[in-house]
Structure 1
Amino acid sequence: MSAARRLHSFSSQILAANRCGAMAEPGSPLTTHVLNTAIGVPGSNMTILLYKQDSSAAVWNLITKGVTNADGRCPGLITRELFTTGVYKLHFDTAKYWGSLGEDSFYPYVEIVFTISNPAEKFHIPLLLSRFSYSTYRGS
């Protein structure tokens, strides 16, 4: 089996088992929380994709796909074993989210790119969102 085919097979296994909580232990090293600051509620039912950048090129490999729960959280994004040093990207499908509320949005998606140099630490990356703005920070 070619290296590319093995990588695709491995990625497919990760995605099939890791749908925001299905595979990761309760103490996931990476968490996120979406807050709709326009109306003061959690950003529930928002699709989130987690990617990791390939170290040899500017290629993004999809690690996890999930949907936020009623509290705007997507627990279990990644297991401690899969969480290694590197550059990651969280992709939030904001257009679909706002559309489900009968609204449109200036930003069709939000991507947060961040570097992990010590995967033993815990990382929390919230997204504060309105139709025409967003902000993020590294939380605890």
Structure 2
Amino acid sequence: MGISTHILDTSLGRPAAGVPVTLARMTDEEWSTLNEATTDADGRCKHLLPETDVLRPGIYRVHFDTLAHYKQHQLDGLYPYVEIVFTVSECEQHYHIPLLLTANGYTTYRGS
């Protein structure tokens, strides 16, 4: 299976397109970058884990460069980046990690 994400800017009421996103995995107490992507027009990275990679158990991190989004929309954002760290325990499942964003806050959950 894989890892995907999307960003919705809830204050603007639309997807956050063009946001740089990085996926990393912790290996031996250090982060190893697995992929770098940019959200599409719908605010999504459908294949954040490259399709050629195998999902393995472990701790992963999605780094969202939210400052790029704020600059694009001339917003003063409080959080220049957001990092969501999560555990993959069942490799046969898909992990969708969405970000709901505003200039002064964010939330996340395990999506489907």
- Give the TM bin, normalised by the shorter chain: over 0.9
Return 5+ residue gaps in structure 2 as ranges.
none
> What percent identity do the matched residue pairs reach?
40
Contact kept in structure 2, 1:32 and 1:75, CA below 8 Å: yes
Residues 120 and 80 of structure 1: is their aligned pair in 2 closer, same or farther, counting only changes over 3 Å? farther
Higher alpha-carbon Rg:
1
Contact 1:51 1:64 in 2 (8 A): yes
From the two aligned structures, give the one with the greater helix fraction: 1
The partner residue of 2:7 within 17, 34, 37 is 34
Structure 1 partner of 2:18: 45
Cα distance, 1:99 vs. partner? 0.6
8 Å contact kept, 1:35–1:43: yes
- Higher RCO, 1 vs 2 (CA within 8 Å, ≥6 residues apart): 2
Q: Secondary structure at the match of 1:32?
A: strand
Shift of residue 80, structure 1, vs aligned partner:
6.7
1:74-113 aligned at under 5 Å gives the runs: 74-78=45-49, 79=51, 81-113=53-85
TM-score (norm 2): 0.94
- CA distance in structure 2 between the aligned counterparts of 1:81 and 1:96, rounded to whole angstroms: 27
How far is the alpha carbon of 1:82 from its aligned partner? 2.5
Instruction: Sort the Cα spacing of 1:98 and 1:48 in 2 relative to 1 into closer, same or farther, 3 A.
Output: same
2:96 maps to which residue?
A: 124
The structure where strand makes up a greater share of residues is 2
- The code of the aligned residue for 1:38 comes to S
- Residue 97 (structure 1) shift: 1.1
What is the Cα deviation at residue 86 of structure 1? 0.5
